[in-house]
């Protein structure tokens, strides 16, 4: 049996065991904060794809130069510099939430976007390496963008952010209305005829379907996809890893 076959068999067995956990546990706290069961399966499937697929769309000159520029930094200094570069790359300079470098008692994982506070928290005690940190920051920035799109879209139907993003009166009292109103003022209301309207409605349907406990599946898929993509850019262009080495690094993180 080849080395690849042994790896594939071992990972397939792990996936079989993970599948028994059930869909309800997909987004709960994980030993390694950036990997859900869905992401593990995606990583495992990558091994049977051609290397050119693993490395596609990784040529982003401005982002690559930005990553190389901040590579020597460490700790809080690196996190804040990386956040600034990512915000610019994602065209979120006017709508990016405040970044809080520190623990929050209910923070579930390395990083989290609080839809009520309109802030992104990152727990310094959970940071393992720079690539994972970048992935998590991108993931949460995507969630911030998704909730802003929902708020802007529903504002066009006469509903306030509090009516749309809160599940009860208690949450409405906690909602950072200034944050969402500022986002709406800066980016504008999304009308039913606008190109973003369909996406906004899909986000809203996913949010309602999640009963305000977990982000909907489509929202998570998008956040994981862009986070993983930008992490691969960092790993390939800054740390010089090939497609297979990126995969190997990821499955070692997952299972060991």
Q: Where are the beta strands (DSSP E) in 64-131?
A: 98-101, 111-114, 119-122
Spatial distance between the Cα atoms of 218 and 215, rounded to a whole number of angstroms: 8
Handedness of CA 254, 132, 204, 202 (dihedral sign): negative
**d(C-alpha 65, C-alpha 234), whole Å:** 10
Strand, coil or helix: 121: strand
- Rounded to whole angstroms, the Cα distance separating 162 from 115 reads 11
Confidence of residue 53 (pLDDT cuts 50, 70, 90): very low
b/e per residue 149-169 (b: at least 16 CB within 10 A): bbbbbbbbeeebbbebbbeee
Structure tokens given for 24:
């309800």
Q: What is the pTM of this model?
A: 0.72
Other C-beta atoms closer than 10 Å to the C-beta of 52 total: 8
More confident call, 37 vs 51: 37
Per residue in 57-86, pLDDT (tens digit) is: 456 777 888 888 999 999 999 999 999 999
Q: Which two tokens stand for residue 183?
A: 């986002």
φ/ψ bin of 57: left (φ > 0), alpha (ψ from -120 to 50), beta (otherwise): left
Do residues 114 and 93 touch, judged by C-beta distance below 8 A? no
Q: How far apart are CA 232 and CA 17, in angstroms?
A: 27
pLDDT digit string, tens, across residues 86-131: 999 999 998 899 999 998 777 778 999 999 999 999 999 999 899 9
Q: Summarize pLDDT for 147-201 with one digit per residue, the tens.
A: 999 999 999 999 999 999 998 999 999 999 999 999 999 999 999 899 999 999 9
């Amino acid at each position: 049996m080849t080395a690849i076959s042994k790896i594939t068999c071992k990972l397939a067995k792990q996936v079989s065991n993970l599948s028994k956990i059930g869909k309800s546990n997909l987004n709960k706290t994980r030993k390694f904060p950036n990997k859900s069961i869905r992401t593990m399966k995606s990583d495992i499937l990558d091994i049977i794809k051609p290397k050119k697929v693993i490395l596609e769309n990784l040529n982003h000159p401005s982002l690559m130069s930005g990553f190389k520029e901040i590579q020597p930094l460490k700790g809080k200094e690196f996190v804040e510099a990386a956040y600034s570069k990512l915000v610019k790359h994602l065209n979120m300079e006017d709508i990016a939430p405040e970044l809080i470098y520190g623990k929050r008692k209910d923070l579930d994982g390395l990083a989290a976007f609080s839809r009520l506070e309109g802030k992104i928290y990152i727990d310094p005690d959970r940071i393992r390496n720079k690539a994972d940190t970048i992935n998590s920051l991108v993931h949460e920035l995507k969630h911030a963008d998704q909730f802003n799109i929902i708020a802007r879209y529903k504002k066009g139907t006469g509903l306030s952010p509090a009516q749309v993003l809160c599940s009860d009166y208690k949450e409405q009292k906690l909602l950072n209305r200034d944050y969402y109103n500022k986002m709406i003022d800066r980016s504008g209301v999304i009308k039913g005829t606008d190109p973003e309207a369909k996406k906004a409605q899909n986000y809203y349907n996913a949010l309602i379907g999640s009963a305000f406990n977990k982000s909907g599946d489509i929202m998570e898929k998008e956040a994981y996809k862009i986070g993983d993509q930008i992490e691969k850019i960092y790993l390939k262009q800054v740390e010089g890893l090939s497609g297979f080495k990126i995969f190997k690094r990821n499955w070692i993180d997952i299972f060991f």
